[in-house]
């Protein structure tokens, strides 16, 4: 009897423990369903007895630095239907076919589709069509307003603004980079339905309003941008090149004031059915494409030379040093490096560094680079931002192309000294030149000034100038700026000269590479300039790709930069300094 008692007690205890584990397992399962699956199951339940009408948020505006509208969202209408709620598909289809001038059968097929809660009858209808459809009171058919992206000036700032997809999501440019601020949050209208999806006559209705996107204000000045685009178009007409590009920026802050390339695209009429053309002309090549800068790069070599002299480097040269070698060539590791001119009658003999910049004498900049050595030259390449992206607020920026410091030869270094064997983006060249003349500071460029809430006017985020590093001293920078003013007064940049405004700059002409080899007769002509040289503010880089006829940057590019400077002077009403 005693054994039976203990056996029964043991079984009871086992049963109790099993029951506890069972209930504990059920409790954990319920907790898991409630906590982890709760929202998902609630959504499924809601979908069974509710239908939601989407309310699209309006995409935020894009403005220029002065508040002028560049991109906005206009109201359009879309037509939709819930097949389960359509009472008479025949009448409904015929009515809509008459109003929309669409095929009756296609509309009828959509209205009688089974297994879907909603169908799209027309992505865009006119205001008049919307009013007619509302008057017909077709059950199961509804109209929803939506925003359609509109660009105020069409083919204007197109590579910077970018564009959106058909459903309003940023694809390129500012539209893409700042999409999370511009897109807003969609709302919805919830209505109760029965088991088959038909709306209940006395059912409740819940409205969740959309939150429209924020406004993005650019650093771009629309007036300066218009000046640049007009001058680019003039260059396209007069030089008949493959393309022309230009950047204007504030050297003291890094703000991009204008940025454009030609040819471009009309943002209101994009060739979406021709992706090759779309991507070719909508790409911002000023950030994404690289090229050999040629003589415009000599600004860095000159700055490095002067800065090292100030530091006491015995291999550097002073501003007053006279380079006596009058030969127009150098033989480096068995390879001949030539100047752009034949040096007839000793034209380039006994030059100072300022003379070498004026005459754009390749051999002297070869001598400087080799004298400083690769370690020093690469240190300055890094300080001036070459070989890495500038950090601008834009997708797809490239970092340029440098020969590895460990692999660079004397021949490579010699050519780097005058802007060959190195590939840069136009924006990199702009920022490096700015650092050479603005007091020595390498700035980070930026395109957006602030992001704000259009309903309250409150600034959500503001962007400020950012110093990346010091490239050279103020003393060296002032000397370089003065030398480059001489280039425009007396040297190759004289076609950009403006009486009384201390314009400085440097021209460049570089032969193009095609399929890894130099292409005969194909050049990139450029000019990078700034003013006023005594206290630089505005900088302009103008590039002409494969001009027909003359190819020298002094003839092909400098006059257009000078024209842009003149227009900025008129616009800003800047008084002469001299």
* CA distance readout (Å), 39 to 33, 36, 43: 9, 7, 6
What are the catalytic residues? 295
Whose tokens are 């890894």? That residue is 516
Other beta carbons less than 10 A from residue 445's beta carbon: 29
Is-contact 539 503, C-beta < 8 A? no
Q: Is the CB of residue 392 less than 8 Å from the CB of residue 427? A: yes
Question: 379: Cβ–Cβ under 8 A, 6 or more apart, which residues?
Answer: none
Q: What is the DSSP secondary-structure string of 27-55?
A: HHHHHHHHHTSHHHHHHHHHHHHEEEEEE
Contact call for residues 282 and 158 (beta carbons, < 8 A): yes
The CA–CA distances, whole Å, from 196 to 82, 119, 187, 189, 295 equal: 11, 16, 24, 19, 75
d(CA 118, CA 406): 63
Which of 57, 397, 71 is CA-nearest to residue 216? Answer: 71
Asked whether the CA dihedral 233, 237, 243, 245 is positive or negative, the reply is negative
Rg (CA), the chain: 34
**Backbone φ and ψ of 347, nearest 5°:** -55, -40
Ramachandran area for residue 62 (φ above 0: left; ψ -120 to 50: alpha; else beta): beta
Q: How far is it, in rounded angstroms, from Cα 248 to Cα 220? A: 9
Label residue 294 left, alpha or beta by phi (over 0 means left) and psi (-120 to 50 means alpha). Answer: left
Q: Residues 450, 462: contact at Cβ < 8 Å?
A: yes
Q: How many Å is the maximal CA-CA distance in the chain? A: 132
Burial of 177-203, coded b for 16+ CB within 10 Å and e otherwise, reads bbbebbbbeebbbbbebeeebbbeeee
Judge contact between 298 and 365, C-beta under 8 A. yes
Joined together, the tokens standing for residue 416 give 């780097």
């Amino acid at each position: 009897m005693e054994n039976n008692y203990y056996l029964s007690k043991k079984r009871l205890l086992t049963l109790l423990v099993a029951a506890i584990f069972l209930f504990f397992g059920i409790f954990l399962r319920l907790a898991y369903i409630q906590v982890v699956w709760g929202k998902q199951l609630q959504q499924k339940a809601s979908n069974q007895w509710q239908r939601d009408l989407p309310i699209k948020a309006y995409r935020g505006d894009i403005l220029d630095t002065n508040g002028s509208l560049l991109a906005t969202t206009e109201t359009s209408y879309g037509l939709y239907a819930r097949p389960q709620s359509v009472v008479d598909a025949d009448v409904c289809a015929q009515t809509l076919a008459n109003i929309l001038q669409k095929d009756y059968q296609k509309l009828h097929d959509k209205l009688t589709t089974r297994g879907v809660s909603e169908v799209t009858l027309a992505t865009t209808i006119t205001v008049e069509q919307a009013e007619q459809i509302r008057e017909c009171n077709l059950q199961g058919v509804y109209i929803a307003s939506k925003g359609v992206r509109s660009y105020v000036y069409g083919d204007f700032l197109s590579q910077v603004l970018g564009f959106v997809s058909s459903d309003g999501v940023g694809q390129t440019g500012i539209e893409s980079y700042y999409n999370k601020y511009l897109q807003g949050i969609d709302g919805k209208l919830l209505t109760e339905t029965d088991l088959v999806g038909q709306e209940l006559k006395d059912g409740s209705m819940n409205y969740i309003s959309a939150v429209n996107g924020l406004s993005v204000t650019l650093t771009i000045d629309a007036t300066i941008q218009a000046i640049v685009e007009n001058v680019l178009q003039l260059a396209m007409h007069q030089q008949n090149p493959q393309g022309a590009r230009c950047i204007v920026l504030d050297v003291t802050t890094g703000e991009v004031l204008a940025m454009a390339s030609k040819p471009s695209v009309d943002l209101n009429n994009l060739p979406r059915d021709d992706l090759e053309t779309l991507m070719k002309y909508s790409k911002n090549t000023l950030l994404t494409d690289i090229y050999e800068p040629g003589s415009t790069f000599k600004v860095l070599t000159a700055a490095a030379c002067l800065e090292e002299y100030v530091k006491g480097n015995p291999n550097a040269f002073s501003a007053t040093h006279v380079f006596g070698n009058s030969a127009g060539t150098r033989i480096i590791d068995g390879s001949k490096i030539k100047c752009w001119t034949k040096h007839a009658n000793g034209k380039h003999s006994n030059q100072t560094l300022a003379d070498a910049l004026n005459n754009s004498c390749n051999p002297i900049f070869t001598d400087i680079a080799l004298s400083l050595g690769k370690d020093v030259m690469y240190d300055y390449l890094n300080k001036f931002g070459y070989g890495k992206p500038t950090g601008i607020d834009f997708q797809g920026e490239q970092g340029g192309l440098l020969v590895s410091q460990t692999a660079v030869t004397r021949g490579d270094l010699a050519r780097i000294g005058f802007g060959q064997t190195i590939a840069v983006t136009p924006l990199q060249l702009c920022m490096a030149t700015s650092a050479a003349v603005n007091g020595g500071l390498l700035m980070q460029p930026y395109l957006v000034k602030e992001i704000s809430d259009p309903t309250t006017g409150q600034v959500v985020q503001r962007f400020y100038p950012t110093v990346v590093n010091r490239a050279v001293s103020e003393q060296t920078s002032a000397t370089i700026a003065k030398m480059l003013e001489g280039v425009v007064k007396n040297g190759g940049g004289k076609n950009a000269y403006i009486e009384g405004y201390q314009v400085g700059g440097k021209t460049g002409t570089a032969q193009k590479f095609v399929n890894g080899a130099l292409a005969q007769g194909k050049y990139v002509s450029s000019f990078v300039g700034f003013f006023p040289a005594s206290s630089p503010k505005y900088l302009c880089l103008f590039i002409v790709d494969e001009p027909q006829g003359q190819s020298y940057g002094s003839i092909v590019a400098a006059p257009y930069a000078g024209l842009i400077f003149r227009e900025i002077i008129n616009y800003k009403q800047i008084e002469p300094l001299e």
